Structure 1
């Protein structure tokens, strides 16, 4: 075969190979729950609610009854109870330094309802979290001592108050120790849907453990939403 014919064969082979690569589709990236069809998601409130679905990280549970949720500004993650929903009208962000979320649950059959309110702050009150405690004392007329829980990278201070028969509030803050200044104020309010109905009974110890497990699940990201490190500022 002369050189001209050999060159033609090589060119054709390259063209055919290139077309084949163009026809082959790249591997599809795994979709987030927000990108999936709701019918393909777990048939539970956390995923069927359009607002909470947007913040879910995966359809795989992180613990029994919980899924991982990431904040809108990527400041923290938190376990999301499968039976709860995000209240979009009571949630919001302010730049990359403030975010509030409200998570709600109501079950008339078991006559129990709760809301979990979480407010993240970078800077500001995060540098002086005792202001948060002062504010909570004023808002809830709380006079007892605060309880403290030490974690590897954070510290939790909390208090409990019975605001009405069978209605309790667990309140306080979680502050980052290694990735300061970051803090999350929390208020967990639990009670009966129908306080007049028979069988309205809220167990304080169970609710306290539920609330603390929820708060302990929070993990600060250590970065702002634009990727800048928070440490040292």
Structure 2
């Protein structure tokens, strides 16, 4: 009898401990579910992506996906992608519609004197985005590009990627070139969904030394583009 009571007591303890564990995990999940935009800036990572009020509205989580990058989620909830920790949302060049969303952002590295500007144009429920040729003609026209695109095939997306260099009018100034990475991402999982992108890297201040590494810039652009994940093609 005594042995049986001890067994029952052990079972009760195990049950209580189990319930306490579940409550703790539940509370933890609830805390993680709070969006960065609803948190106190003091509790957020001390980087521009979270300390800038408008930028943190796009941040899906405070968890660093990989060194220097967090996860951005579009307001139409159409896609996610890596977002640099020093990036800041550009309200002037961005827009939000029913089936289109333009997310523009920029960053400036004082140490290298390199400026990074980006535009991500998301489309859904529009027939023209299903035709990569038509979209790439649009990319070419908007950027004055006449070359070809590298096609990168992913499991759920096809990426069309190209590089171009623009030399500005003031040829007597050093470091007056912009290196751009342009193209289009077509969803293979969803119809009528795609993203047109532009990434520009340039030496911002002509009177200061600049260490713009073209290979690093291209690698960064590809990293962000390859991280794009489409979520849905419906409202």
Distance 1:201 1:133 in 2: 31
Change (3 A) 1:128 1:41: same
Find the partner of 1:117 among 106, 114, 119. 119
Look up the match of 1:13: none
Q: What is the TM-score with the length of structure 1 in the denominator?
A: 0.80
Shift of 1:68: 0.7
Superimposed CA distance per residue, residues 11-65 of structure 1 (whole angstroms, 9 cap, x where no aligned partner): xxxxxxxxxxxxxxx9693221111111111111000000111111111111111
Unaligned residue ranges in structure 1 (runs of 5+)? 1-25, 226-233
Tell me by how many angstroms 1:196 deviates.
4.0
SS in structure 1 of the partner of residue 92 of structure 2: helix
Q: Which runs of 5+ in 2 are unaligned?
A: 1-25, 168-175
| Corresponding residue for residue 148 of structure 1 | 151
Q: Secondary structure at the match of 1:88?
A: coil
Structure 1 partner of 2:228: 218
Counterpart pick for 2:68 among 52, 55, 65: 65
- Say which of 185, 195, 219 aligns to 1:209: 219
Q: How does 1:11-160 map to 2 (within 5 A)?
A: 29-30=30-31, 31-95=34-98, 97-122=99-124, 123-160=126-163
Q: Residues 108-144 of structure 1, C-alpha deviation per residue, up to 9 Å, x if partnerless?
A: 3320001110001112331223222112222322122
TM-score norm. by structure 2 comes to: 0.79
- How much is the aligned-residue C-alpha RMSD, in angstroms? 1.7
Q: Report how many residues are paired.
A: 198
Rg larger in 1 or in 2? 1
- Is 1:111–1:194's contact at 8 Å kept on the other side of the alignment? yes
